Amino acid sequence: MTDFSAIHNPVLLEQCVQLVAPALNEPGSIVVDCTLGLAGHACAFLAAAPAARLIGIDRDAEALAMATQRMYEAGFAARFTPVHAAFDELSSVLAQRDIAMVNAVFMDLGLSSLQIDENERGFSYSHDAPLDMRMDTSQSLTAQHVLASYDERDLERIFRAYGEERFSRQIAREIVRRREREPLSKSSQLNALVDAVVPLSHRPAGNPAKRVFQALRIEVNGELDKLASTLPQAALHLAPGGRIVVESYHSLEDKEVKSFMNLGLHADVPAGLPVIPPDAQPFFRPLTRGAIKADDKQIEGNPRSASVRLRGVELTRPLPDRFASRFELMSRGRLDEDGPGSRSRFAQSRFAQSRSMRSNSARTGTRKG
């Protein structure tokens, strides 16, 4: 039997089980694990909730196959459905299985240790590898393609928005200059380029290219975009009493999760209104006070947990109609939490191109369900 926990150590496992399992007491309860990975969290949910079944989504076919093996070995096969998809396909994944409502939706965002450790997938800046970075290897858009085809301004904006990189402009300019001579295809080339551009006196701790790699990974996989459209889908399919629990690993993800949850945690009225009508009352109850972080002991045992922020909410009543319509639009990427038109022009034009390259696999039918 494979020792899966030696490959990927689930972050804040106990806390996640405590947040998810209470929603799964009724026979036939359903939990969707949107980021199945190697099923560390998923196995623990099914062990803690013997009446529940789990739908496990992952866009990485290799992770999905290993998770499925693990579920069989753990004796959970009858209560487990593996789905190869991106999690922003949540509504159609459920519709294809005639499921209208679920009792819990869980997300453990980012990469699994399996993906980070597989050098040839190009996620890690510490190994020389092709600049790939696709979680779903059947999509067309790779990091190499982004570096070869995006114009200087878009590269700069990606590095600034997704990497919070101070030298975004200089790095983007150098990429465009260098690629005229030779394509940037290996991580060692990108490391050397960033190393040459970022002054020694302004380097963050660790590898100076760390932020650029993070930004490229977020862009290639459409990570924030997909998160923003999945959270409202989760709420739309949640039965009253159901829970949404999310682990994020960088501030941009956590900001998205927090602002989404806040939509239902506060009364939907102008400040200072003396009486709050029943329909404007909050519809989420917080399960965490702010975000749960890993303590020193957990970080020592699992360094990946150092940046985790765990948040959870419970749906206390059916979604008010106003929010149901709003979440429908948000799920389609037509509206974000700040209202119509708030997605930046940069995002709109860039996403149009990268989205179509990311969704190639869906159109060519390479997914399985």
Ligand X SMILES: C[S@@+](CC[C@H](N)C(=O)[O-])C[C@H]1O[C@@H](n2cnc3c(N)ncnc32)[C@H](O)[C@@H]1O
| Residues of the shown chain interacting with ligand X in the complex, contacts defined by CB under 6 A | 8, 10, 35, 37-41, 57-60, 63, 86-87, 108, 110-112, 135, 226
CB of 106 to ligand X, least distance (A): 8
CB closer to ligand X out of 58 and 256:
58
CB of 88 to ligand X, least distance (A): 6
Handedness of CA 16, 6, 207, 183 (dihedral sign): negative
- Token pair in block for residue 99: 């499921």
CB closer to ligand X out of 10 and 208:
10
CB of 367 to ligand X, least distance (A): 11
151, 186 contact by CB (below 8 A): no
CB of 318 to ligand X, least distance (A): 27
What's the CA gap between 224 and 162, in Å, rounded?
Answer: 9
CB closer to ligand X out of 162 and 283:
162
Torsion of CA 32, 17, 299, 262, to 10 degrees: 60
285, 314 contact by CB (below 8 A): yes
Tell me the DSSP string of 17-59: HHHHGGGG-STT-EEEETT-TTSHHHHHHHHH-TT-EEEEEES
- Amino acid identity at 212: V
- Token pair in block for residue 127: 């190994």
CB of 271 to ligand X, least distance (A): 36
- Token pair in block for residue 71: 């579920």
CB closer to ligand X out of 208 and 312:
312
CB of 240 to ligand X, least distance (A): 26
Closest CB to ligand X belongs to which residue? 37
- Token pair in block for residue 129: 């590898």
CB closer to ligand X out of 316 and 360:
360
CB of 299 to ligand X, least distance (A): 16
CB closer to ligand X out of 58 and 165:
58
CB closer to ligand X out of 40 and 208:
40
What's the CA gap between 268 and 262, in Å, rounded?
Answer: 10
Please state the φ and ψ torsions of residue 331, each to the nearest 5 degrees: -65, -30
244, 235 contact by CB (below 8 A): yes
Nearest one of 176, 157, 167, 166 to 216, comparing CA atoms: 157
- Token pair in block for residue 300: 């020592």
